[in-house]
Amino acid sequence: MNTPLHVKCAKCEKGAVVRVTYARLNLCSEHYIEYFEKRVLKTIEKYGLFKNTKRVLVAVSGGKDSLTVLRVLSKYRDVLGVTLAGVHLDLGVGVYSERSREAALSTCSDHGVECRAVSLSDLLGYTLPELVRKTRRPPCSLCGLIKRYVFNVAALEWGFDVVVTGHHMDDILVFRVKEMLMGQRESEVAKLLPFTPGVTGFYAARARPLYEVYEWEIELYSKLTGLKYVEAQCPFKYRDIISSSVAEMLGKIDSEIPGFKITLARRLAKRTRWDVNAEKITPCQYCGMPSSSGVCALCKFTLKTHGKPMGLVVREKLKSTKPI
């Protein structure tokens, strides 16, 4: 992708390293970086991601997506008028987690962003592989539950208005189209929007600045800017047949109709309503965090694995590790 194309950049005399097909642009490295950052900033502006926000918490996994978000936000934090901090959750998945933690912390430090690493074994007394062995729940769903709880509580306890993640367009579209194929109701597919508003005391807002960028664009940006990200996938990650078929189908359409995915992502953002009804949220009887039935997902799960609800313990532990 970043080998010279033997054509000139559309903006200067240098050789282009990439053809951005959907925009019909050949760009050199420097102008590609500028182009990419502008697109992310446009997404932030268009969806009002930081409109009511001063303090932004970036969930930094150590992968290319979250390091890219971190880099762009740290570069433009003054323009955006926000204070940034990072949070990394060390899941204890062997060497993979060690490398991820190192990548997250060192990149944050290189970009002048204070980052707190919290470890699952500190919070719950077990690593992810240990928890997986204790339960029949699929690892990714378990990991997702824990991450949602930890990032949300971290933001609330540390006084951040919004949690930023590195979710990108390709993954979001696969998720959304898959959920449609599975016949989910609209409220259930409304999870991965560019912006999810917060609910005071219950939910920090969620922002996804890479909502309109392709995965290949992120990969190229992170390579051209020298980000030291972890390339390995989590050993628990697997791609099911429906997701990989959807990804293949969307890719095929997008190669025939350049920019198709962007159009689809924009339409989905426009047409999906996020209808969390604050009045319907019941505080968890054990930890006070949101639940639908009186016991939150984390307390429900830890009642099984620990024999007691762990929400309050996690909250207290996070409270004592506030970064800035």
Residues that bind ligand AMP (CB under 6 A): 59-61, 65-66, 88-89, 91, 147, 165-167
Q: Which residue has the tokens 């509580």?
A: 153
* Dihedral, CA of residue 221, residue 252, residue 191 and residue 140, to nearest 10: -80
61 binds, among ligand AMP, Zn ion, none (CB under 5 to 8 A by kind): ligand AMP
Smallest distance from Zn ion to CB 88, Å: 23
Is beta strand 18-20 parallel, antiparallel or unpaired with respect to 83-90? unpaired
75 binds, among ligand AMP, Zn ion, none (CB under 5 to 8 A by kind): none
CA 86 to CA 188: how far, in whole Å? 28
28 binds, among ligand AMP, Zn ion, none (CB under 5 to 8 A by kind): Zn ion
Provide the binding-site residues for Zn ion, judged by CB under 5 A.
9, 11-12, 14, 28, 31, 284, 286-287, 296, 299, 311
Distances (CA, A) of 58 to 19, 83, 105, 111, 169: 30, 11, 12, 13, 18
Three-class secondary structure assignment of 190-250: CCCCCEECCECCCECEEECCCCCCCHHHHHHHHHHCCCCCCCCCCCCCCCCHHHHHHHHHH
Beta carbon nearer to Zn ion, 31 or 208: 31
Smallest distance from ligand AMP to CB 87, Å: 6
Smallest distance from Zn ion to CB 191, Å: 20
65 binds, among ligand AMP, Zn ion, none (CB under 5 to 8 A by kind): ligand AMP
Beta carbon nearer to Zn ion, 9 or 172: 9
Beta carbon nearer to ligand AMP, 66 or 291: 66
The residues with which 56 forms a beta bridge, in sequence order, are: 84, 162
CA 91 to CA 227: how far, in whole Å? 22
Beta carbon nearer to ligand AMP, 17 or 128: 128
